[in-house]
Structure 1
Amino acid sequence: MGTPRQPGEHANVFNALRMAAAAAVIFSHHFHITGTRPPAWLHSDMVGGVAVMTFFTISGYLVTLSWLRDPRAGVFAAKRLLRLWPGMLVAVLADVLLFGPLFTALPVREFLTHPATLEHWRNLLLVKAYTDMPQVFANNPLAGLMNGPLWTIPMELMCYAVLGAAGILGLLRQRCVATWSCIAYLLFFLTQRNADLTGTMRHWYEYPAYFAFGSLIALHRDAFERHARALLAAALPLAALLFFGAKLEHTAGLLLLAPLIVWLGTRRARPMGKLQRAGDPSYGIYLLGCPIAQAVQATWPQMPFAASLPLSVLLATAAGYASWHLVEAPALRLKGVLNRRRPLAAAGA
């Protein structure tokens, strides 16, 4: 959370990037939700993929910095749960108690006691995603789908767990070992699990690669800030060659997107101060955008795509801010209690 910024103070761009990524996920899914064919030139699913890559890159960068600032395993785990679980609670309660009863074809009592509905509660364990619910949005093109983005949250938790385990084992104290561990995973992904080579999308390997790249940059934050422009100047033509020349789209994306996202996120701009003080609704937008878009489609099935998309984004943004101010931010204030209990030796590290 940090110290509140004074009026007029510059802030970084990470909040804006996360909000844009959450809106991009809604945009990507909206073609499927409304049954609209995207223009031939637009790879709409790639837009959503890049958005999730953005989330994982930023997460890898910021969460690694969090461990480096305070390398206590219990506190690290508590902070990560405080970030993930309250927003998930809001999403699951909204799915089961609001959108489900309003948009299921079943009687409400039957819906609430249906095995699929009871399974949906298990999303609160953050270990397995249950995205469909019984006979919801029955007349929509994506009938039965309640909340598609939930499946990425267990993957995020897995990345946190791996990072925490590396910290407990002392790997993050040895910067060289941590660096080569990240590089080793990136090379493993690029050569063994890369869709450019295998022909199969394997998100459970790809998105963690962006997390690992974000972690790698965090491990060398000072050097990255000094040389980021030169690095991007070298990465851009290489990525263009790989993307357009060799048709290695996923390889090009990883090499360029991760450093570009961190570089953009660490820029400081005066307007970002106001946005940052307003809160961070991105997680709520991401988790609530799908059921809201499904509800818009179910309520106004004849609404044109150009109208239903901005309406869905607007409603999701309002819901995201409500989730932030009413649930997520109050939960995150508990981080202050954890920080105050920091031992003197750690505080001086």
Structure 2
Amino acid sequence: MGIDAMPRGYRLRRMTLGESYAKERPNGLNALRLLLAIGVIFWHSFPLTGTQFAGGEPARQLLENLCVDGFFAISGYLITKSWLRSPRVRMFIVARTLRILPAFWVCLIATALIFAPLGTWFAGGDPLRTITSPESITYVVKNAGLWMVQFGIAGTPLNVPFEGAWNGSLWTLAYEFMCYLAILALGVAGLLRRSWALWGAYALVWIATFVHLIEIAGIELLGTSFRFALTFIAGALLSKYENKIRLSWGGVAIAFALVVAAAWLPNYLLLAAPAIAYGFVGLGGLVSHQRLAFRNDFSYGMYIYAFPMQQILASAGLSFFGVVGFGLVASLFTIPLAMASWFLIERPASRLNGRLQARLRLSSTRKSAPVLV
């Protein structure tokens, strides 16, 4: 949809963020998330080809963190908006579980039965021995709860620059699901309707990050939790004020300029978290061209399958392409897997969610209907 095809009301004044995601208006959020997933592929191409990043600390901080932080900010916006639109516990849990777990479980199984044996074959070993190894089963079972505790399978991957881990991306999914549960807890407590609750949560996480609680406590888990919570809550705050926040290309440009400037800080999120949220969510809303308004969301499949695909390519000796070439080849090889994940697993799970949601709404309506005597 070009600007001439936009509803007249959009041209009379600057759009709000909420208006940019109106149902009748296409947006570029799926395309943007796909680009973020590809960005993660390129960053992982450094360790997976054994290449040291030669840039300065600001560039490293941006390249290493920005794409994943962008994912969390977008999720914070969408998940909070989902709860505010339909604050029902069972419906929320069903929707979140079906979106993340089925494709995740299939990825674990595919890694144990396909990627690991194939990597063993490239390394000159016996693929059947890898398949029948007890670690193939424990890889799926131990990691099935989203918390990654086993990264390798029967000593594989071997003879690659980054040994011992088949998927270095999946560990973030546990933190994402914890953010979902935090929104659920705040929603059930009635605090999401109160603006001070989210602001208070953001302030607490910001202060904890600022005083380096992670160094005081000596627990890495806390520092990672603060990182993702900061961007997720920033996205959640956008959903609270989406009908008041004005959206413009200039505003998005300023937001990303602020993100770049913040990279010179020891922790760029202390300044950049709100800018990351506004920049990425706003960019997704501003992009309204039909060709960029992807109906299918391949980003999750790209994210969960890219790392094992990169390990296979490294096992096959394709690291010589260099970081950029390796990233391009890995992206191209991962796209079919992402498409298969969407069409065979994620979209059917989404349709199942729709049917279950309809049943839950019907059940809720029947329970709340007055009894005629």
TM-score (norm: length of structure 1):
0.84
Return the letter of the residue paired with 1:266: G
1: CA distance between counterparts of 2:51 and 2:70?
A: 25
Superposed CA RMSD in Å reads 3.1
Return the letter of the residue paired with 1:323: S
Matches within 5 A, 1:136-155: 136-155=156-175
Is the Cα–Cα contact under 8 Å of residues 194 and 251 in structure 1 kept in the other structure? Answer: no
Report the equivalent of 1:203. Answer: 224
Change in CA separation of 1:186 and 1:24 when aligned onto 2, cut-off 3 Å? same
Give the gaps of 5 or more residues in structure 2.
1-23, 369-373
Q: 1:75 aligns with which of 91, 115, 135?
A: 91
2: CA distance between counterparts of 1:299 and 1:87?
A: 26
Is the Cα–Cα contact under 8 Å of residues 240 and 252 in structure 1 kept in the other structure? Answer: no
Instruction: Note if 1:50 corresponds to 2:66.
Output: yes
Return the letter of the residue paired with 2:146: L
Matches within 5 A, 1:1-349: 11-40=26-55, 43=59, 46-104=62-120, 107-121=126-140, 122-193=142-213, 202-224=223-245, 226=246, 242-244=262-264, 249-272=268-291, 275-277=293-295, 279-301=296-318, 303-305=320-322, 306-341=324-359, 342=361, 343-344=364-365
Q: CA deviation at 1:108?
A: 4.2
2: CA distance between counterparts of 1:162 and 1:340?
A: 25
Q: CA deviation at 1:236?
A: 6.5
1: CA distance between counterparts of 2:251 and 2:214?
A: 23
2: CA distance between counterparts of 1:213 and 1:191?
A: 19
3-state DSSP of counterpart to 2:156: coil
Q: CA deviation at 1:71?
A: 0.6
Return the letter of the residue paired with 1:58: I
Deviations along 1:7-42, whole A, 9 cap, x unmatched?
xx8521211121111111111111111112344358
Change in CA separation of 1:44 and 1:118 when aligned onto 2, cut-off 3 Å? farther
Is the Cα–Cα contact under 8 Å of residues 16 and 272 in structure 1 kept in the other structure? Answer: no
When structure 1 is superposed on structure 2, of 66-75 and 133-142 the one drifting more is 133-142
1: CA distance between counterparts of 2:255 and 2:297?
A: 30
When structure 1 is superposed on structure 2, of 260-269 and 297-306 the one drifting more is 297-306
Give the gaps of 5 or more residues in structure 1.
1-8
Identity %: 30
Q: CA deviation at 1:48?
A: 3.4
Q: CA deviation at 1:251?
A: 2.3
2: CA distance between counterparts of 1:346 and 1:177?
A: 31
Deviations along 1:130-150, whole A, 9 cap, x unmatched?
322222231111122200101
Is the Cα–Cα contact under 8 Å of residues 140 and 294 in structure 1 kept in the other structure? Answer: yes
Is the Cα–Cα contact under 8 Å of residues 147 and 290 in structure 1 kept in the other structure? Answer: yes
When structure 1 is superposed on structure 2, of 304-313 and 113-122 the one drifting more is 113-122
When Rg is computed on C-alpha atoms for both structures, the one with the higher figure is 2
Q: CA deviation at 1:338?
A: 3.3
2: CA distance between counterparts of 1:169 and 1:345?
A: 25
Is the Cα–Cα contact under 8 Å of residues 24 and 48 in structure 1 kept in the other structure? Answer: no
2: CA distance between counterparts of 1:234 and 1:268?
A: 17
3-state DSSP of counterpart to 1:221: coil
Change in CA separation of 1:276 and 1:72 when aligned onto 2, cut-off 3 Å? same
The size of the alignment, in residue pairs, is 332
2: CA distance between counterparts of 1:276 and 1:236?
A: 23
